[in-house]
Amino acid sequence: MDIRKEPGSISRHKVARDDMILINRLSKAELTPDQVYTFAIRLCDNEVDRDWERFDEEALEILSGLFVGKSGIFDHNWSAEGQTARLYRTEVCREGSSTMAGDGCQYLKGYAYMLRNEKNSALIDEIEAGIKKEVSVGCSVSGRVCSICGKERCGHQGGRRYDGKLCYFTLREPTDAYEWSFVAVPAQRKAGVIKAFTKEQGLELKRLAAECGCLGQLEALEKEAQMGRAYMGGLRKELVRLAGLADESVDLKIFSRTAEKMEEDELLEMTRMYRRRMDEKYPPSPQLRPRAAAPCAEEDSAFLI
């Protein structure tokens, strides 16, 4: 039984080292992070869709393995010219909501890559702009079970209620995954490109800085920012240390959270205050401070056995 299911959305995804390992297992040539554009896709879920069908949990797990390596095309048109991207990783994710069937919502998330070249530049822009985001999956299943009678073939109609119970069909035991496609109207309401902020925006900033000759200034600012974070971290640690020594009644966990919100001037002032308390509680005793001379008899007794 051939099935096409069309869920939700696409999201930008940062290219990490582990991603490149998986991508290069599929590519013939060794690719670098600068050569690829990656994004995440909500391929399909276990919610009852517009066709009054749904995948069960076991089906999503099976599809997770079947879809790795499958091509992304357009409108399920099986043509090599339409191949634009490929899935290199998948995972089944859980949501806090419940489905119409009454179980916890789960969805199959895929990670796809495409080349950054002139041919794909327009598609990448459309993905970034949210124009291309709905997707559909093409696969085959061996079972389709009615929620009313539990049979694969019956006279019940999806979407109708029988004695108050909704009729829908559960797709089970997938046998193959063909492809996934960009479409205009998906059957599954949530499927498509998942939009999310990632560190790839930082990579894009570096590319822009390189183009205008400001990459050196940007890297210098990043280094100074890192030094500033280290400086502020040191101030906070010192303040918490002094507070714990000067006042044993202080809850250091709560005090640490408070210190995280303080600015530099507040940290310095609080550090000075606790250092004064430390000096009062544990006054310094210099080793070279002059002392009164002891009587000779008392001084000589230290050597008597």
Residue 200 has pLDDT above 50, yes or no: no
Element at 199 (helix H, strand E): none
pLDDT of amino acid 89: 92
Greater model confidence, 11 or 264: 264
User: Mean of the per-residue pLDDT values for the chain?
Assistant: 80
Handedness of CA 39, 40, 44, 47 (dihedral sign): negative
pLDDT of amino acid 193: 44
| Residues ≥6 apart with Cβ < 8 Å to 111 | 13, 19, 38, 39, 40, 41, 87, 88, 89, 90
Distance of CA 188 to the CA centre of its chain: 23
- pLDDT band of residue 305 (cuts 50, 70, 90) is low
Residue 174 has pLDDT above 60, yes or no: yes
Residue 285, number of CB atoms within 10 A of its CB: 6
- pLDDT band of residue 13 (cuts 50, 70, 90) is low
Coil, strand or helix: which one is 25?
helix
pLDDT of amino acid 287: 63
pLDDT of amino acid 35: 92
**What DSSP letter does each residue of 91-126 carry, written as one string?**
EEEEEEEE-TTSSEEEEEEEEEEEE-SHHHHHHHHH
pLDDT of amino acid 156: 93
What single-letter amino acid sits at 258?
Answer: T
pLDDT average, residue stretch 161-170: 93
pLDDT average, residue stretch 196-205: 44
Greater model confidence, 160 or 17: 160
Total H helices, total E strands in the chain: 8, 12
Residue 146 has pLDDT above 60, yes or no: yes
Q: Judging by beta carbons within 10 Å of its beta carbon (0-12, 13-18, 19+), is residue 105 exposed, middle or buried?
A: middle
What is the spatial distance between Cα 267 and Cα 138, in angstroms, rounded to a whole number?
Answer: 59
| Residues ≥6 apart with Cβ < 8 Å to 106 | 45, 46, 57, 60, 92, 93, 94, 95
- pLDDT band of residue 10 (cuts 50, 70, 90) is low
Query: Percent of the chain having pLDDT more than 90?
Result: 23
Handedness of CA 151, 156, 159, 162 (dihedral sign): negative
Poorest-pLDDT segment among 102-106, 259-263, 278-282: 278-282
Residues 174-198 as b/e (b if ≥16 CB within 10 A, e otherwise) read beebbbbbbbeebbbebbbbbeeee
pLDDT of amino acid 195: 34
pLDDT of amino acid 163: 93
Coil, strand or helix: which one is 290?
coil
